[in-house]
């Protein structure tokens, strides 16, 4: 093979390799826009190796320049420095410079995008961290409020338990007193009886007693049997006053109850012997004592006249006989 033939073969080979190098440059640029930072080289499904994309890019660029230079050198080696040749060389150099600038701009744009993406990711992570911190604070505050509420509920529960325990102890004591009183009670005499004259009933004034006698009502039994509206209409008294008077008279027929006690019972709504017999001792005692203490404060009765639980229990027992 002649010298020119070898030179032509070498030139074509170098040109072909330079073209392949350019393809590799564009291939590296395309892969840089992907998500995998590693370039994999395969032939017919067989992996020949892998290389970092940036290394692959710069290697391809350098190889391209080298091969272009070698190709140009092979083409123009030994040729006379004619104007046409120099013009072609200048065009090639211009193309090389253009390609170099393009690659440089591509690299700058690529790294700028990487920097922008990194800043955007940092901002996203910063916002996520702030949001997580706010959520953590809110959760801590919520837990603190729930803990305080539970502590308050526990405190209230303890107080309620203590109150219930005291009430239970009080009820037990009252029941024991009632049981003891039931064994030790001695028979008492009632303040009024059905044949008791009206003059003996302190709630009836002499003027009212005279009017009742005019209505043929001369004793307690006849007073209880009379209609309260009839008595009120003929005595200028209120129906409610006459009804309360009849209720007190009926209660005074129960042994152990005096005038003031009868008045207290009527105030709590007990208006007959039957109603008194159906009462619970503890409940009735609490109601009567509440009104009695008000009477004491108002000066209507003495504190020593406040009935005891034993008295109330005895009234109920006597009312049932």
* Cα 317–Cα 310–Cα 241 angle in degrees, nearest 5: 70
179-235 pLDDT, tens per residue?
A: 665 554 455 788 999 999 988 898 898 999 999 999 999 999 999 999 999 999 998
Model confidence at 282: pLDDT above 80: yes
In whole angstroms, how large is the CA radius of gyration of the chain? Answer: 59
Per-residue tokens: 263: 């008045």
Task: Give Cα 218 to chain centroid, integer Å.
Answer: 72
| Count of positions (residues) in the chain | 321
Task: Give residues with Cβ within 8 angstroms of 287, minimum separation 6.
Answer: 268
The predicted model gives 142-155 an average pLDDT of 83
Band of residue 177 on the pLDDT scale cut at 50, 70, 90: low
Cα–Cα distance for residue pair 275/279, rounded to 1 Å: 7
Q: Which of 73-82, 84-93, 263-272 has the lowest mean pLDDT?
A: 73-82
94-112 pLDDT, tens per residue?
A: 887 887 788 788 778 778 8
The residue among 262, 253, 243 whose CA lies nearest residue 305 is 262
Q: Are 57 and 32 in contact (CB under 8 A)?
A: yes
The predicted model gives 10-39 an average pLDDT of 77
Q: Are 248 and 262 in contact (CB under 8 A)?
A: yes
- pLDDT at position 77: 65
Band of residue 48 on the pLDDT scale cut at 50, 70, 90: low
Task: Give residues with Cβ within 8 angstroms of 211, minimum separation 6.
Answer: 234, 235
Determine what percent of the chain is predicted with pLDDT higher than 90.
34
Cα–Cα distance for residue pair 315/43, rounded to 1 Å: 115
Q: Are 305 and 292 in contact (CB under 8 A)?
A: yes
Cα–Cα distance for residue pair 321/318, rounded to 1 Å: 5
Domain spans of the chain? Answer: 3-130, 198-320
Cα–Cα distance for residue pair 261/290, rounded to 1 Å: 13
- pLDDT at position 1: 56
Band of residue 145 on the pLDDT scale cut at 50, 70, 90: confident
The predicted model gives 271-299 an average pLDDT of 93
Mean of the per-residue pLDDT values for the chain? 82
Cα–Cα distance for residue pair 62/18, rounded to 1 Å: 11
311-to-181, 248, 249, 293, 301 alpha-carbon distances in Å: 9, 17, 18, 16, 17
The predicted model gives 37-59 an average pLDDT of 68
- pLDDT at position 141: 86
The residue among 251, 302, 305, 301 whose CA lies nearest residue 279 is 251
Cα–Cα distance for residue pair 46/38, rounded to 1 Å: 16
Band of residue 86 on the pLDDT scale cut at 50, 70, 90: low
DSSP state letters, 85-96: HHHHHHHHHHHH
Task: Give residues with Cβ within 8 angstroms of 197, minimum separation 6.
Answer: 218, 219
The predicted model gives 68-86 an average pLDDT of 67
Measured between alpha carbons, how far apart are the two ends of the chain, in Å? Answer: 151
């Amino acid at each position: 093979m002649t010298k020119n033939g070898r030179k032509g073969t070498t030139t074509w080979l170098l040109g072909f390799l330079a073209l392949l190098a350019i393809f590799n440059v564009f291939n590296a640029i395309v892969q840089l826009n992907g998500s995998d930072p590693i370039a994999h080289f395969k032939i017919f499904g067989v992996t020949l190796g892998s290389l970092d994309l940036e290394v692959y890019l710069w290697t391809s660029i350098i190889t391209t320049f080298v091969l272009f230079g070698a190709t140009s050198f092979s083409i123009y080696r030994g040729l006379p420095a004619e104007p046409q040749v120099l013009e072609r060389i200048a065009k090639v150099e211009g193309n090389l410079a253009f390609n170099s600038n393009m690659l440089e701009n591509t690299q700058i744009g690529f790294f700028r995008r990487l920097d922008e993406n990194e800043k955007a990711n940092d901002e996203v992570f910063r916002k996520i961290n702030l949001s997580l911190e706010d959520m953590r604070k809110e959760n801590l505050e919520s837990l603190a409020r729930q803990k305080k509420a539970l502590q308050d509920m526990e405190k209230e529960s303890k107080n309620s338990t203590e109150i219930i325990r005291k009430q239970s102890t009080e009820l037990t004591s009252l029941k024991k007193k009632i049981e003891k009183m039931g064994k030790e009670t001695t028979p008492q005499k009632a303040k009024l009886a059905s044949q008791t004259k009206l003059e003996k009933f302190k709630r009836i004034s002499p003027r009212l007693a005279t009017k009742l006698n005019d209505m043929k009502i001369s004793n307690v039994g006849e007073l209880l049997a009379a209609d309260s509206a009839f008595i009120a209409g003929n005595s200028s008294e209120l129906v409610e006053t006459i009804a309360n008077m009849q209720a007190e008279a009926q209660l005074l027929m129960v042994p152990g109850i005096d005038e003031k006690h009868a008045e207290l019972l009527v105030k709590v709504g007990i208006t007959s012997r039957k109603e008194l017999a159906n009462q619970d001792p503890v409940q009735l005692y609490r109601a009567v004592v509440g009104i009695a203490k008000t009477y004491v404060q108002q000066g209507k009765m003495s504190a020593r006249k406040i009935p005891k639980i034993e008295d109330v229990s005895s009234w109920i027992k006597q009312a049932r006989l």
